[in-house]
């Protein structure tokens, strides 16, 4: 069968495949044509109309998914990496840049004027190299499509920024582009039109971190993957079951109305794929019989992000050669190799800074200010190990579901210690809890000091209470700060709850020592009264 694939650089790849070929066969052909090894972030799309697409299922035969001849597809980014710096090759980052440029021009990735100018300047640097008055005319930026409604003012700002760059290689310009693009609120969000149960129009967005809800272009809710217990749909209704919060007893099921049965199923599949790709270390460890219920045969069949990173770490090949779209510049990786344009000029001088793999950083929120005075230290507590016991409430009635997906089971360990750097390990029975790869550290600080301005208040009066939440691509930090007055003494209590998403095993001892060290450095006038580490890991098939 004859296939046509529109690529991200506006070229078309054509080939002939066997009539029983599967989606993965064609995708592999395309990636080989592009010399792309980190192929798991990409996929082939079938466009229903100008704004709606369906991903080609890699595990199914192509002929069962498309109509008409020839078979037409587009090659697109399916899973947007939260940290593009962790991609192994700059050719992967280049195609990610091309996708984001399309997203911006199509209006799928809204940007402010300043961000459009900055991203546009990196695009020009990537394609043309350093500004050269002998080669670049007065309006050279107008040859590029950089924004949905491109203005002369924007082009002038892009040129101003571009002229300030010196000896920046195309690969470095691409990385700078991505480091700024990844911070945009709509980066990598797959949008689906829906209604809430009251019939109000909303948009549901699926991304690496979870399910997002938008109304009137504002995000009104967020459901992180660690809190999602179940994803399901029936007819045109879509449901998610959410883990109860700290002050709640039961799970909650939230429903949305999609335009059709097909739209609900497509959203369900996108959610399953994103959760599996970004949250699990491997799809091989998930028993097929337990992965889905009620007869569904669908499961994400590709590699997870963890697996593709492991495979990329084993890559040992010269930097791949590829051509830039506009300038047809031959480009190499960030190893300092020269970039040469189509006029065969002398190589431009290039710099080659090492790109360090970014590490997952915990969100930091400054502690409450502590006034100097008489501070009463909390007595040192004894070290203890305790197991958290949870009451399992009776199941709430649920609608009959067509297809259901649940995260795999894990085992839970809880270690509680006092203000000491010595951790105590304990053998704790396994308990089935559907979360994966999450670690929670709870650090409690307490301090008491005199405060003359509040000395006339009644004992036990709550002065202030606030909750601060900060997020990074790999962690969420919730800080609760309360100030009270007891017996004429002002007390400040800070509790931080840090949830870290990670694929690697975490050493309890190291985490505890580091947590206490950071606590004492950040708040030297306060005493750490308790540190709780709650770690979950996958259960093996055995």
Tokens representing residue 497 in the block: 């709850």
Tokens representing residue 501 in the block: 């998403």
Distance CA(146)–CA(263), nearest Å, equals 31
Question: Are 404 and 434 in contact, with CB atoms under 8 Å apart?
Answer: no
Question: Average of pLDDT values for 64-68?
Answer: 86
Residue 194 buriedness (CB in 10 A; 0-12 / 13-18 / 19+): buried
Which residues pair with residue 65 across a beta bridge?
A: none
Reported as a single tens digit per residue, the pLDDT across 503-526 is 445 555 666 666 667 766 766 666
Helix axes 90-105, 170-181, angle to 10 degrees: 50
State the pLDDT confidence band at 480, using cuts at 50, 70 and 90.
Answer: confident
Give the range with max mean pLDDT: 172-176, 306-310, 522-526: 172-176
Residue 112 buriedness (CB in 10 A; 0-12 / 13-18 / 19+): exposed
Mean pLDDT of the chain: 74
Question: Are 210 and 473 in contact, with CB atoms under 8 Å apart?
Answer: no
> Would you say residue 351 has pLDDT above 60?
no
Task: Specify the pLDDT at position 241.
Answer: 93
Task: Supply the DSSP symbol for 78.
Answer: S
Q: Helix (H) and strand (E) counts for the chain? A: 9, 22
Query: 23 or 539, which is more confident?
Result: 23
Distance CA(263)–CA(235), nearest Å, equals 9
Task: Specify the pLDDT at position 515.
Answer: 65
Question: Are 361 and 348 in contact, with CB atoms under 8 Å apart?
Answer: no
Task: Specify the pLDDT at position 412.
Answer: 39
Q: What are phi and psi of 31, to 5 degrees?
A: -65, -35
Which residues pair with residue 71 across a beta bridge?
A: 3
> Would you say residue 185 has pLDDT above 50?
yes
Choose the weakest-confidence range: 45-59, 324-338, 460-474: 324-338
Coil, helix or strand at residue 237? strand
Sheet containing 12-16, strands listed edge to edge, beginning at the edge strand earlier in sequence: 12-16, 2-6, 71-77, 42-47, 53-55
Reported as a single tens digit per residue, the pLDDT across 370-421 is 343 333 333 333 333 333 333 334 464 444 455 677 766 544 344 433 333 3
Residue 327 buriedness (CB in 10 A; 0-12 / 13-18 / 19+): buried
Tokens representing residue 62 in the block: 């192509």
Residue by residue, DSSP assigns 178-192 as: HHHHTTSTTTT-EEE
Three-state SS for 466-482 is: EEEEEECCCEEEEEEEE
The length of the chain is 542
Distance CA(130)–CA(136), nearest Å, equals 10
Residue with tokens 């000091």: 449
> Would you say residue 442 has pLDDT above 60?
no
Q: Which of 498, 412, 489 is nearest to 458 (CA)?
A: 489
Question: Are 79 and 270 in contact, with CB atoms under 8 Å apart?
Answer: no
Choose the weakest-confidence range: 21-35, 82-96, 209-223, 317-331: 317-331
Question: Average of pLDDT values for 303-315?
Answer: 84
Task: Specify the pLDDT at position 298.
Answer: 62
State the pLDDT confidence band at 492, using cuts at 50, 70 and 90.
Answer: confident
Choose the weakest-confidence range: 28-32, 226-230, 241-245, 503-507: 503-507
Choose the weakest-confidence range: 99-113, 222-236, 323-337, 382-396: 382-396
Distance between terminal CA atoms of the chain?
Answer: 43
Distance CA(213)–CA(194), nearest Å, equals 10
State the pLDDT confidence band at 284, using cuts at 50, 70 and 90.
Answer: low
Reported as a single tens digit per residue, the pLDDT across 114-169 is 999 999 999 999 999 999 999 998 899 999 999 999 999 999 999 999 999 999 99
State the pLDDT confidence band at 288, using cuts at 50, 70 and 90.
Answer: low
Query: 329 or 442, which is more confident?
Result: 442
Reported as a single tens digit per residue, the pLDDT across 189-208 is 999 999 998 999 999 999 99
Sheet containing 228-234, strands listed edge to edge, beginning at the edge strand earlier in sequence: 218-224, 210-215, 201-206, 190-195, 252-257, 237-242, 228-234, 403-405, 292-293
Task: Specify the pLDDT at position 398.
Answer: 41
Percent of the chain with pLDDT over 90: 45
Distance CA(57)–CA(46), nearest Å, equals 10
Task: Specify the pLDDT at position 52.
Answer: 82
State the pLDDT confidence band at 424, using cuts at 50, 70 and 90.
Answer: very low
Whether cis (ω within 30° of 0) applies to the bond prior to 352 is no
Tokens representing residue 144 in the block: 């590029």
> Would you say residue 218 has pLDDT above 70?
yes
State the pLDDT confidence band at 318, using cuts at 50, 70 and 90.
Answer: confident
> Would you say residue 16 has pLDDT above 80?
yes
Coil, helix or strand at residue 268? helix
> Would you say residue 178 has pLDDT above 70?
yes
Give residues with Cβ within 8 angstroms of 156, minimum separation 6. Answer: none
State the pLDDT confidence band at 309, using cuts at 50, 70 and 90.
Answer: confident
> Would you say residue 246 has pLDDT above 90?
no
Which residues pair with residue 255 across a beta bridge?
A: 239
Distances, alpha carbon 71 to alpha carbons 15, 31, 59, 498, in Å: 10, 17, 17, 48
């Amino acid at each position: 069968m004859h296939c046509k694939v529109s690529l991200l650089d506006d070229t078309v790849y054509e080939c002939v495949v066997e009539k029983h070929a599967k989606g993965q066969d064609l995708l592999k052909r395309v990636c080989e044509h592009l010399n792309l090894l980190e192929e798991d972030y990409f996929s082939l799309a079938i466009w229903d109309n100008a704004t709606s697409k369906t991903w080609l299922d890699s595990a199914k035969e192509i002929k069962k998914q498309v109509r008409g001849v020839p078979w037409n597809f587009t090659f697109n980014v399916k899973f947007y990496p939260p940290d593009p710096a962790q991609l192994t090759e700059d050719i992967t980052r280049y195609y990610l840049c091309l996708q984001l440029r399309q997203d911006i021009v199509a209006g799928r990735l809204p940007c402010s004027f300043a961000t459009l100018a900055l991203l546009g300047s990196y695009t020009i640097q990537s394609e043309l190299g350093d500004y050269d008055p002998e080669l670049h005319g007065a309006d050279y930026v107008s040859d590029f499509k950089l924004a949905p409604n491109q203005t002369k003012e924007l082009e002038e700002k892009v040129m101003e920024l571009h002229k300030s760059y010196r000896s920046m290689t195309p690969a470095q310009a691409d990385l700078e582009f991505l480091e700024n693009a990844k911070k945009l609120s709509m980066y990598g969000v797959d949008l689906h039109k829906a209604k809430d149960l009251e019939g109000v129009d909303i948009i549901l967005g699926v991304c690496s971190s979870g399910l997002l809800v938008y109304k009137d272009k504002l995000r009104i809710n967020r459901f992180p993957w660690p809190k999602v217990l179940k994803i399901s749909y029936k007819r045109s209704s879509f449901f998610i079951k959410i883990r109860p919060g700290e002050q709640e007893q039961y799970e909650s099921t939230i429903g949305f109305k999609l335009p059709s049965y097909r739209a609900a199923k497509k959203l369900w599949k996108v959610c399953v794929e994103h959760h599996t790709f970004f949250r699990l270390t491997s799809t091989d460890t998930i028993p097929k019989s337990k992965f889905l219920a009620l007869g569904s045969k669908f499961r994400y069949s590709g590699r997870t992000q963890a697996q593709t990173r492991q495979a990329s770490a084993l890559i040992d090949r010269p930097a791949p050669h590829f051509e830039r779209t506009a300038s047809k510049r031959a480009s190499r990786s960030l190893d300092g190799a020269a970039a040469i344009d189509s006029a065969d000029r002398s190589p431009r001088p290039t710099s080659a800074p090492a790109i360090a793999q970014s590490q997952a950083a915990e969100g930091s929120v400054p502690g409450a200010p502590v006034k100097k005075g008489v501070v009463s230290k909390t007595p040192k507590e004894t070290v203890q190990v305790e197991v958290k016991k949870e009451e399992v409430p009776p199941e709430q009635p649920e609608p009959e579901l067509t297809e259901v997906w649940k995260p795999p089971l894990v085992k839970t360990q809880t270690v509680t210690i006092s203000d000491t750097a010595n951790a105590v390990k304990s053998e704790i029975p396994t308990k089935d809890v559907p979360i994966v790869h999450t670690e929670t550290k709870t650090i409690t600080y307490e301090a008491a000091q005199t405060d003359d301005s509040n000395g006339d208040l009644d004992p036990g009066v709550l002065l202030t209470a606030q909750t601060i939440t900060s997020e990074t691509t790999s962690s969420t930090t919730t800080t609760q700060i309360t100030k009270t007055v007891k017996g004429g003494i002002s007390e400040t209590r800070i509790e931080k709850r840090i949830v870290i998403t990670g694929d690697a095993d975490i050493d309890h001892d190291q985490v505890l020592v580091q947590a206490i060290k950071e606590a004492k450095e950040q708040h030297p006038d306060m005493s750490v009264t308790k540190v709780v580490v709650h770690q979950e890991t996958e259960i093996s098939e055995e």
